[in-house]
Structure 1
């Protein structure tokens, strides 16, 4: 079983995926992408929103740990866009 949707994931692949999503990645996007990937690597799960927001709060601060901020970066949300760009597999959880 592959751990990531893109086992050879790198920043160039992320940029290509983001381009198909009409997103130009900047430093703020990369911060979230790498936090998502670290969570997945550390716990072998796709991070649920609450878990991810807690991690963001600890790493980046409270003002960045909310859905409004995430949606400003990834308009389709964590599950449909951020995780995809980060190279994570699709979640089995119903949305």
Structure 2
């Protein structure tokens, strides 16, 4: 199903995270002006795993780095996450991952 056919909230996030698939992610990325890479999909998979299997957890950038560094090619830093998702790895990557908008402010 195309992104245009899916129900979204007032900020453009999917209402039902089960409507998400990689094609939807690519459409979101195009909307957001983001080029998805293998590393982008590693972060997206991590965010979905945390949300779906860890009590709707939406980790901050520091915890993203901690959770992903073992599977990352090269050194992973918060800067790398912002290179992939310039508008913020929590909000922008979460949106592309089909998750609800995070209400958390930045920080640790």
For the aligned pair, the TM-score class normalised by the smaller chain equals 0.7 to 0.9
Structure 2-normalised TM-score? Answer: 0.73
Between 69-78 and 52-61, the greater mean CA deviation after superposition? 52-61
1:10 Cα deviation after fit? 0.2
Residue correspondences, number: 91
Unaligned runs of 5+ in 1: none
Highest relative contact order (Cα 8 Å, sep 6+), 1 or 2? 1
Between 41-50 and 14-23, the greater mean CA deviation after superposition? 41-50
1:35 aligns with 2:46: yes
Q: Which runs of 4+ in 1 moved over 3 A?
A: none
Alignment of 1:40-59 (within 5 A): 40-43=51-54, 44-59=56-71
Structure (1 or 2) with the larger CA radius of gyration: 2
More helix by share: 1
Structure 1-normalised TM-score? Answer: 0.82
Unaligned runs of 5+ in 2: 1-13
